Structure formats: C-alpha cells, structure tokens
A and B are shown apart, each in its own frame.
Chain A
Amino acid sequence: MAVGSGPPRLPGALVALLMAGLCLGTLIPLLLRTGEGGLVGADWAALRFTLVQAALSAGLSVGLGVPVARALARRRFPGRSALVTLLGAPFVLPVIVAVLGLLALFGRSGLVNEALGLIGGPRMSVYGLHGVVLAHVFLNLPLATRLILQGWLDIPAERFRLAATLGAPIWPLLEWPMLRRILPGAFAAIFALCLTSFSVALILGGGPRATTVELAIYQAIRFEADFAGAAQLALLQYAICGVAAGFALWLSPPALGGGGLGRSVERWDAAGAGARVMDAAWIGGAALFLLLPLGLAVLRGVGGLSDLPVETMGAALRSVMVAVSASVLTVGAALALALRAGTLAQLAGALPLAASSLVLGTGLLLVLRSVVGLSAVALPVTALVDAVASLPFALRALAPAVAEIEARHGRLADSLGLVGARRLRVVILPLARPALGFAGGLAAALSMGNLGVIALFAGPGQETLPLLMAQLMGAYRMEAAAATGLLILALALLLFWIFDRGGRIDASS
C-alpha cells in the first residue's frame, strides 16, 4: 500500500502493546519477588490433568457443536433467533450458578438421579473427570456452536444452489472444507478457556485428582506467598495456550457472530424426513442440555428474590457501569486490533484467553498500589480486566466484518482521501455497526457475570453483583445469593440485547 492510505493502524499497535503489558508485564513484579519458584511433582500431576480435561472438553464441545450448528443453519422455526441468543447464556453465567444449575440436574439429588431412582435404576455420580468435562461442555458448547454456525452461514448461498444443480454431495464439497478451516480455531479457544478453569474442575472433579494448574497458582499465592512460583505457573499456562493458539492461527480462525445469525441457509439436501428428525433431535437435545440446568438455576433464584439485601440495588448499578465501561473499552481495543489486522494483532487478541485472573489481578495490584489508592481504582480496574478478558471474543466478532469492509470499500475510501480517523468515522464505524453492537453486547454480558479482580481491590460499599453474590454465599445466605445470580443473568441478557439491537437498528447495508 502506498503511503497515507488505509485505516488507522497505530492504535492497534498500542492496544497490542497494552495487552502484552497487562497479560505478561504483570508477571514481572511477581517474578521479581522472592519465593520458592520451580515446579514441584504435584504441579506436573496438575498439568497432566489440566491438559487431559481441557482437550476432552474442547474436543467434545466442538464435536457436539457441529451437528447442532448444522441443524440450526438449515432449519427455520419460530423463536430460532431467541433460542440462539438464549443458548449463549451459560457462557455468561457466574461459574458457581452454572455449577449449581448442573447439579440440580445431574447431581446426587438432581432430576436425573431422582428419575433413575423412580424406575429403580442405578444412581450415577457426576463427580470425576466426566463431571468436569460435562460442565465444561455445558459452559462452552454455546461458544462452539456459535463459531461453527457462523462458518456455515458464511458459505455463500450460490454454492449450495450450484451443488444442488450439480447433484453434488454437499459434505465433501462445501461442509468439510469449511469445518476444517473453523474447527481448529474453535478447539483452541475453548481449550484455552478450560485450561485456566479452576472452580469447575475442582468442584466436579471430586478431589485432588482433579487439580488444575490454576489451583496450584491459587495455592502458591494464598498459602505459600510464593509469588514467583505463581508467575511461573502462569507462564506455563501461556506457553501451553501459545502452542494451541499458534496452531489455530496457522489454520485461520473463524468469525464469531456479528453478521446475520438470524438467517438460515436454504438447502436442498435436508428435506428428507430423516434429516428433519435428526436436526430436531440435535436442536432439542442441545436446548434441553443447556436450558434445563439454566432453568433450574433460575428457579433457585426466584425463591430468593425477596431475600435480596438492600445493597443489591447499588451493586447492580455498579455492575452495569462496570459492564458498560468494559464493553466500550473492549470494543475500542478490538476495533483497533481489527483495523491493524495481521499476526501481531491476532496474537495480542488471543493472549487473555490464557491469562490467570488471579495472577493478572495480583500483578496489577502490585503495580497500581504504589501509584494510587486501590479502592479509588477498584471499579475502573475491574472494568479494565473484564475488558481484557472479553477482548478475544469481541475481536473474533469484529475482525471479519472490518476485513470485509476494507476489502469492499478500501480502495474507494483511499481514492477519496478517507484515511485515518476519517476512514473510521465515515466508512468503518457506520458499516461495522452490527458487528460492533454484537461485540459490545457480548463484552457487557461477560463482564456482568465475571467476578474478575474486584475482590482484590474493592473496599466496603464497592461490591459488584458477582462479589455481592460471593459474600452472600460466604454468610450462609444461599437463597439471596441464588437470587443475585438470577439478577446477574437477567441483566447480562438485557445488556446484550440492548447493545446488539442498537447495532442493528437503522443499519441499512
């Protein structure tokens, strides 16, 4: 490209630097602390378990995501787009709410075991490696489905028509090549998310067999004051995810949402009764698997609504402010990276997937406390860390949209002198609005349910909803905590809806 053309690229470089500073730079003050350091035998056992569960969870999420996404891609039915949105709910739930919802279904006195008991069958236990994988699939199947669904919808309708006129088989011709392009990226993203999982793995793992590296980090910081050791373990997580992410980058990751998840692809191969039944079964099965625990969690919450403490209002307000701020930060950063494009931007955008939030928060605390009062920055820092955590997903939603706008209108914009900030204002922002709204909604919803680093920074009267929920649970008030969880879910979905809607209204393109 000639000088003075193209979209602004400098902000992307700055954001990439900032991400590196936040994710990796926060390790430095910890690495400089005295501490035992070094990995012990138990850490290696934890590493093995971590890898096995993350690989299984990601593999199953992606494997099940394929038929579900395919069914959703080729079927139209009333409530389809609402279902697609709702299926994303487990992804934004506070982990403990999701776990309790799952246990209400699969636990010792859950519905499944009650039913088995009624028919005199053997009781099943959810605890163990299979439980960890079950929970991780519950939490990540929505993400997998969405990534893969986008892949299906990105296949131009003309190709399906062409295949239909040729009588050519769609699977080897269109679908398998698309999946081969998309699945590695989806796998790597979910693998990284499961790698840094901690509570889910421990609670459903059933004991110290199910120790993950993240728990070892927890232990090192809280009981051993071994900050250097914790930072080393965090580096180990980055290294593993680096390998997975490199693999995914190499195989070009897909788009997440943004475009029309509302439409379905017209298909001529799926008219048979067998295919209809299969698709209905996959959609129904996924909806049941995802929505039943969610519904049970909601039911738990409804009962406690009257027990909500007076602080709930303030905490809800703070949470919404944090979520909206985080969303704006995320979208800004993701846009900067999307405009820059290239490997550096993609790497920077993927970095937070592998970050340990405890290490990130502790490192930030060390850096910030010498500069400002911690409680003064508690909410901004929480919003910042939430924004960092949401960035990979926002970037996946935004990057393809921006790339398409550039491909289609880049030269015209250049020839008219629409470069730099003007390009952004006149061309990219208006055209990318649906993707911006989707990314913003996703970031807001994720932040809403994320405890993040608020517990490390907040003083009294600064609780967000997830922290309030943790405090209620710590004080025996489980019903009120469940109601707080319900409130979090409702606000997360509401925020997502408002952002997503805002992006689509009057978006005439």
Chain B
Amino acid sequence: MNPTRAAIFALAAAPALAQAQDAPVLTVLTYDSFTSEWGPGPAVEKAFEAECGCDIRFVTAGDGAALLARLQLEGATSEADVVLGLDSNLVAAARATGLFAAHGTGAALDLPVEWADDTFVPFDWGWFAMVGKAGGPAPKSFRELTESDATLVIEDPRSSTPGLGLVLWLDAAYGEEAPAIWDALRDNIVTVTPGWSEAYNLFLEGEADLVLSYTTSPAYHLIAEEDAGYVALPFEEGHYLQVEVAAKVASTDQPELADRFLDFMLGEGFQGVIPTTNWMYPAVTPAAGLPDGFESMRPATTLFFPPEEAEARRGPAVEAWRTALSQ
C-alpha cells in the first residue's frame, strides 16, 4: 500500500534531514527529561555548540536507571561519546563494565561530600527528602514518622533511583536497625510506585501526606508556580545524597571533544541553567549564586555511601526493604 510506505518513509526521513552537517558530532547519551524543551538540554546544546564548533547530538534512553543498561547492551560498539546522568549509586557498577575512560578534571566542586573520581564527573546533586504540604504532618525523623499517622508514597528501589536512594538512606542512618524501621514504616506507606513521577503525582492528588523526593522540590513550586505551599522536611538522621555524574565512553571516536564537553559541563554555561531546569544543586555553584527560594531547606547532616560501598550495600538493603514490606 502506497500511503503506508509514504508515511513510513516520512517518519524515517525526518530526523535524517535534520542532521545533514559536516561539523564533528559529539554524541551524548542521557535521560530523556534532560533533553526536553524545559530541561537543561536546549540551553546546554546552544552554549556548547557556540564554543566548540561542533554538533552536539543527544541520544536518550528513558530515565537515569536505563542509561547503564543501554550502554551495557551496546558495549564497545556504542556510538555514545559521553554518558550523562548516571546515579552515584550505580557508579561502581558502571566502573566494573570497563566501558568508561578517565577524564581527570581539575575543577573544584561544591559538593557536600568529598568526590575524587577521575572517571565519573558530577554535574549536579541533591538530597533526598520527604516532601509534604505546608501545615501538614511534619515528623522530624524516620523514627517520628513511624510513630505518626502521616502517610507516605515511596518509589520502588528495584525500578527507580530515588527508591534505591531511600533504602540506602535508611541503611546509612540506621544500619542493622533499618529492617526494624522499614517494618514500622509499613503502616505509613500508602503504596510504592515504579518511578518518581507516579509517586509525586499521587502525592499531589492527595493520596499521601508525604512523598519521597528532593529537598529542592518545594523550590519548583515556589519559583515556577509561585506556590509556597510545599515543604521539604528536615530529618535529624541527616539526608542521603544523590550525585548525578557524567563520564567519557572509552570507545569514543571524539576523545578530545568529550573531554572538552566534560570541562564545559562544570562551567557557567552548563551549571547556571541546572537549578531551574533540572531542579537539582549545580556541582559548581554559579557566580550569581542559587536562585531565590531554591534553598528552602538545607540539611544539617549529609549521609552518603561512596560508590563501591553503595554497590556492596545495594543488594542486602533492597532485600531488607522487600522482606519487611512483603509481610
């Protein structure tokens, strides 16, 4: 049938026409919300292309957790030069694949923890937090939460990075006591969702008092929606840190360009747009500082497992979570 063929041809041809250029191409594999019109992607692309004389091409692979799987599937034949958006808790697994090359950037980072890794370069970070509505239940710790009636939506650590962050958070805060906390949290947890967006949606719809999100979530409502009705609850145990990193792919055919991009990534042109596009802390605080209202809650204590330790604890921590909540 001719109409079909025409339609398929048109579908196939559209993207091909868009990239008929001769400049060197840097392919960046990232999660899809990074490249959306309201994400950092467009501004980053414009700024880097203006200074590199190259063409930057984003390739997306679902969310952050899908990136590593994608690269492992493709192995050394991947067309990606840089992978951007890996979660610090998956860095050890990423390192073990041997698919990444050292970069060795010298820039000073504004991270609440030491970060000395010559391969995986942080580009933003955030603390996990329980987010609630102003005037709603506001427990001051996990322990207080277990004793309260406050309800909670969390993400599944088997399918989402915030979910994984939460089980490591409890592990870091309570160690061997974590299973008991999970057990006590059971009647607070309304449900577990596959990913962050379902959980946050349920929370906004009033299905729970609290949702596992980030300390910067209220900033979105305040800055983008001018709604001061949301708060991130400070917990006495401290808050677990998520660091998002990028790395050069070992098999890249554009190593210099990839290095240049990683350096650019820590500069003003990239870091300046992160707070109000990705709604995370920039890895290097921009000269103008953070936007007003961005830092409504700054945790007193930071909890963090370095990548190798996070990797070792991941399996048992998820299993403890599963066992406690399966009863």
Contacts and interface: CB of A to CB of B under 8 A. Distances in A.
B190 A322 contact: no
Nearest to A206: B191
Interface in A266-310: 309-310
Interface in B102-127: none
B128 interface: no
A98 to B, nearest CB: 12
A32 to B, nearest CB: 12
A284 B294 CA distance: 50
A455 B32 CA distance: 8
Interface string A215-230: 1001101110101000
Contact of A103 (B69, B197, B207): B207
B37 A309 contact: yes
Interface string A304-322: 0000011100000010011
B38 interface: yes
Interface in B25-41: 32-33, 35-39, 41
B11 A459 contact: no
Interface in A459-495: 459-463, 467, 470-478, 481
Interface stretch (B282-290, B299-307, B319-327): B319-327
A4 interface: no
Interface stretch (B71-79, B173-181, B233-241, B254-262): B71-79
Interface stretch (A71-79, A149-157, A378-386): A378-386
Interface in A59-106: 96, 99-100, 103-104
B159 interface: yes
B15 A311 contact: no
Interface residues of B, number: 72
Contacts of A379: 11-12, 14
Interface in A83-136: 96, 99-100, 103-104, 107-109, 125, 127
A219 B16 CA distance: 33
B281 interface: no
Q: Which of B36, B202, B326 has the most CB atoms of chain A within a 10 A radius of its CB? A: B36
Interface stretch (B1-9, B46-54, B141-149, B264-272): B1-9
B198 A96 contact: yes
A456 interface: yes
A109 B192 contact: no
B16 A208 contact: no
Nearest to A230: B69
Q: Which of B4, B32, B63, B224 has the most CB atoms of chain A within a 10 A radius of its CB? A: B32
Contact of B206 (A108, A222, A225, A328): A108
Contact of B204 (A328, A373, A475, A478): A478
Given A379-B11, A476-B200, A206 B60 contact: no
Given A107-B207, A460-B35, A100 B8 contact: no
Q: Which of A203, A365, A373 has the most CB atoms of chain B within a 10 A radius of its CB? A: A203
B10 interface: yes
B325 A109 contact: no
Contacts of B164: 223
Nearest to A365: B73
Interface in B154-181: 156, 158-159, 164
Interface string B66-90: 1011101110010100000000001
Given A203-B198, A207-B192, A207-B325, A475 B8 contact: no
A42 B322 contact: yes
A456 B62 contact: yes
A324 interface: yes
B326 A380 contact: no
A325 interface: yes
A459 B60 contact: yes
Nearest to B42: A460
Contact of B191 (A109, A207, A310, A362): A207
A455 B4 contact: no
Q: Which of A322, A455, A472 has the most CB atoms of chain B within a 10 A radius of its CB? A: A455
B73 A203 contact: no
Nearest to B90: A223
A475 B57 contact: no
Interface string B178-221: 00000000100111111111101110111110000000010011
B57 A209 contact: no
Contacts of A475: 33, 36, 38-39, 279
Contacts of B195: 474
Given A209-B326, A380-B8, A456-B61, A109 B206 contact: yes
Contacts of B62: 455-456
A471 B73 contact: no
Nearest to B196: A474
A329 interface: yes
A199 B198 contact: yes
A376 B12 contact: yes
Contacts of B70: 456
A380 B194 contact: no
A462 B11 CA distance: 10
A467 B1 contact: no
Contacts of A462: 15
Contacts of B79: 373
B11 to A, nearest CB: 4
Interface of A: 33, 42, 45, 96, 99-100, 103-104, 107-109, 125, 127, 198-199, 202-209, 215, 218-219, 221-223, 225, 227, 309-311, 318, 321-322, 324-325, 328-329, 332, 362, 365-366, 369-370, 373-380, 383, 455-456, 458-463, 467, 470-478, 481
Interface of B: 1, 3-4, 7-8, 10-12, 14-16, 18, 32-33, 35-39, 41, 57-63, 65-66, 68-70, 72-74, 77, 79, 90, 93, 151, 156, 158-159, 164, 186, 189-198, 200-202, 204-208, 217, 220-221, 224, 279, 321-322, 325-326
29 contacts: A45-B326, A100-B202, A103-B202, A108-B206, A108-B207, A108-B208, A202-B193, A203-B193, A205-B191, A206-B189, A219-B159, A225-B72, A318-B11, A325-B4, A325-B7, A328-B4, A328-B7, A369-B77, A375-B59, A376-B16, A377-B12, A455-B60, A455-B62, A458-B32, A461-B15, A471-B36, A474-B33, A474-B196, A475-B39
In order of increasing CB-CB distance, the 4 nearest A-B pairs are A109-B206, A473-B197, A219-B158, A379-B11
